[in-house]
Amino acid sequence: MAFSDLSSADATAVLEPVPRNTLRAQVADRLRAAILRGDIAPGAPLVETALSERFDVSRGPLREALRQLIEEGLVVTVPYTGTHVAPLSVEDVHEIYSLRTALESFAFEQVWPYRDDRFRTELNRRNAALIAAVDAGDDHASIQTELEVHGLVYEASGHRLLRRAWYGLRGRLQLYWAAHHLAHGRHGPRRDSHDSYIAAALGDDLAAMRLEIANHMRRGAETTERFLRKPNPSEKSKRGDKT
Instruction: Using CB under 8 A, list all residues that contact its own copies.
Output: 20, 22, 60, 63-64, 67-68, 71, 78-80, 91-92, 95-96, 98-99, 102-103, 105-106, 110, 159-162, 164-165, 168-169, 172
Distance between CA atoms of 95 and 174, rounded to whole angstroms?
14
Site string for DNA, 3-32 (x = CB under 7 A): -----------------x-xxx--------
Among residues 6, 34, 44, 57, which is the contact residue for DNA, using CB under 7 A? 57
63 binds DNA (CB under 7 A): yes
Distance between CA atoms of 125 and 208, rounded to whole angstroms?
22
Q: Quick one: 191 exposed, middle or buried, by C-beta within 10 A (0-12, 13-18, 19+)?
A: exposed
- Choose among its own copies, DNA, none what residue 49 binds, the Cβ cut-off being 5 to 8 Å by kind: DNA
Residue partners of 211: CB distance under 8 A and separation at least 6? 200
Among residues 2, 80, 117, 229, which is the contact residue for DNA, using CB under 7 A? 80
121 binds DNA (CB under 7 A): no
- Choose among its own copies, DNA, none what residue 103 binds, the Cβ cut-off being 5 to 8 Å by kind: its own copies
User: What is the nearest approach in angstroms of its own copies to the Cβ of residue 67?
Assistant: 6
User: What is the nearest approach in angstroms of DNA to the Cβ of residue 52?
Assistant: 7
Long-range contacts of 234-238 (CB under 8 A, 24+ apart): 237/41, 238/38, 238/39, 238/40, 238/41, 238/182
Distance between CA atoms of 222 and 211, rounded to whole angstroms?
16
- DSSP letter assigned to residue 42: T
